Structure 1
Amino acid sequence: MKHFQRHPIAKYTTLKVGGYADNFYIPNDREELTELIQSFGSHQFLLLGNGSNIFIKSKRIKKPVLMTNKSLKDVDIDATTGKLRVGAGVDIRKMIADCLRVGLRAPVELLTIPATVGGAVYMNAGRTSMNSSISDNLIEVEVFDGKHFTTLSRKECTFSHRYSVFHRRPQTTILSATFQYDRIPSDVIQSLKRTSIEAAKDKDYRNLASAGSVFKKCDYQLMQSLRGTGFRRTGFARNTPNCIVNYGDAYAWQISALLAYAYVSHRLRGKQAILEWQVW
């Protein structure tokens, strides 16, 4: 296991903004991760996968930060039954690619989302425009609460739009998820891949640092009107509504100012905005 103190963590996030962690851990495997969590007892900690959907506005993170994408990376696929069990640290794009290789109808609509399986399950990641979410074909989730290993069914996870029960259980760590996918012809798979990639190819978040969709609930027309506004280093994306991009060396206070402006703009119009990002 690697352990760093006063460790800069902006580089581990897709937005590329943030301060440092007092203690930053990179466990090598599942055993090291769960033993570390167990050692914390009732003390709180933070989990970091691919670093998407996270805005680190603090200069200093006092809680221990645990990186999961090195320790929970097993993929077990049964091509005959279409069932697969995937470690929470596996990149969702790798999971999809592995499924496609054996002819399973994985959620190719999510190919452009830079999340780990654990992060995707936590947020119930999806593409609203393509009516697809990670939870659509989920069977169960294996979790660890620091004392016990348990398994939650899809129903027990209480998924809704960009939400799961894990939002109310911050000290519960997702270890793996099990899915069930149908077999489909290879030509259908290729068509689905092309459609997904084509839909996202011109989006700013593909080429610039971004944490993904800012709000899970907002006024779409209002967010359209904010496109291209902001600072020299950061601003609302020019061609992607509801997205903030980092043009290079953005400051956390600038991101905070953009969020505040969006919130105030919603309130002035009697609208509601609910943040999708996690804020540390």
Structure 2
Amino acid sequence: MKYYKDFDLTNYNAYRVKAICKNAFFPENEADLTALYTKKQDYVLLGSGHNIICSKPYYDADFIIFNGNFNTLKVDETTSVIEAEAGATILEVSNLAQKHSLSGAEFFYDIPSSVGGAVVMNAGTKEGETKNILTKVRYLDLADMLVKEKHNEDLELSYRNSLFQKQNDKVILKAWFQLQRGNAVDIKSIMEASKARRWEKQPREYPNCGSVYKRPPGRFVGPMLDELGLKGYRVGGAEISKKHSGFIVNVGNATGKDILELIKHTKEQVKAAFGVDLEVEQRII
């Protein structure tokens, strides 16, 4: 297991906000993770960093990071199941599926997330959600320090939500995805078409963490912000994207404070104009 003191988190959060944590641990296996939690339980968990806002420049805290580690992938050709550790990316899952002519994970291709993060958030697009292919999750239950498994129907999976958001004393270790046999060329074509659609609409040219807000019932966030003239509105180095108002981008040394102030202003404007309470999708740490 790798360990670093005063670890720079700038390249471990997709907003590329400058932040440092007191200690960072990179576990390689379940034994490493269990050993860490046996000592104490107040760690900050960080996956690929694609759905978080670093609110502080310095954290007097210990982080456990799943990024480039804890990322083994296995494919079972007989059952068409991919087994993935929490630190693997869902991009890697989709590429492995395509390589083995397995269909069902195409929508994963251009969602930036770790497997653990995708399960926690029930990550998805218009083409599909994690819950559609997730069959089972293995996790460490901090309540009794036992490793347990739960199947899809027991995970309370809903729009950008799951059991693991509601109960943060459970640490995801591994997930299993049920796919179907398909044609590798057709699968690749679907993946590339999905990516092209998303890149056409989303501001991939600047650091960002994807959609900032959950979609409110009967509404779309982008059009509301456009109507309020908020597209391009800036606080410090954080800007409501000129390409898609549902995104905040770092256009120049944005801080966590900049991003949070921009969110606060946006929520106040939307509430006043439309009576809608925007719910932030991203995790603030």
Normalized against structure 1, the TM-score is what? Answer: 0.92
Could you list the runs of 5+ residues in structure 2 that have no partner in the other structure? Answer: none
1:164 and 2:162 matched? yes
Paired letter, 1:214: V
Q: Say if 1:204 and 1:238, in contact at 8 Å, map to a contact too.
A: no
Give the match for residue 5 of structure 1. Answer: 5
1:258 aligns with 2:256: no
Whether the 8 Å contact between 1:140 and 1:154 is mirrored in structure 2 is yes
Q: Which moved more, 1:216-225 or 1:152-161?
A: 216-225
Distance in 2, matches of 1:205 and 1:80, equals: 40
* Alignment partner, residue 145 of structure 1: 141
Alignment match, 2:33: 33
Structure 1 CA distance for aligned equivalents of residues 47 and 19 of structure 2: 17
- Where 1:224 maps in the other structure, the secondary structure is helix
Question: What letter corresponds to residue 134 of structure 1 in structure 2?
Answer: T
Q: Name whichever of 52-61 and 17-26 sits farther off.
A: 17-26
Shift of 1:80: 2.6
Q: How many Å apart are 1:263 and its aligned residue?
A: 1.0
Cα distance in 2 for residues equivalent to 1:155 and 1:113: 23
Structure 1 residue 231 displacement after superposition: 4.0
Please list, as runs of the form range in 1=range in 2, the aligned pairs for 1:94-105 lying within 5 A after superposition: 94-105=92-103
Alignment partner of 1:259: what SS? helix
Distance 1:138 1:166 in 2: 14
Q: Deviations over 1:145-192 (max 9, x none)?
A: 241000011111101100001012212110000111011123421331
After superposing the two structures, state which structure 1 stretch, 177-186 or 230-239, moved more. 230-239
Q: Report the residue type matching 1:237 in the other structure.
A: S
1:108 equivalent among 97, 106, 109: 106
Q: Does 1:195 align with 2:193?
A: yes
The residue number in structure 2 matching 1:223 is: 225
Deviation at 1:237, TM superposition (A): 1.0
Structure 1 runs not aligned, ≥5 long: none
**Aligned-partner residue type, residue 247 of structure 2:** C
Give a deviation string over 1:82-121, Cα, whole Å, max 9, x none: 1121111001101110010010003212311111101111
Normalization by structure 2: what TM-score?
A: 0.91
Aligned runs of 1:38-117 on 2, under 5 Å? 38-40=38-40, 43-117=41-115
Query: Equivalent residue for 2:275?
Result: 270
Contact 1:18–1:55 (CA under 8 A) maintained in structure 2: no
- Helix, strand or coil at the partner of 1:65: strand
Number of equivalences: 276
Residues 24 and 66, structure 1, Cα contact 8 Å, conserved in 2: yes
Larger displacement relative to structure 2 (264-273 or 224-233)? 224-233
Letter in 2 for 1:133: E
**Corresponding residue SS for 2:103:** coil
Distance 1:30 1:236 in 2: 40
Greater shift, 185-194 or 53-62, is seen at 185-194
- Structure 1 vs Structure 2 CA RMSD: 1.7
1:244 equivalenced with 2:222 (yes/no): no
The residue aligned with 2:131 is: 135
Q: Which runs of 4+ in 1 moved over 3 A?
A: none
CA gap of 1:260–1:33, structure 2 versus 1, over 3 A, is same
1-structure distance, mates of 2:235, 2:270: 20
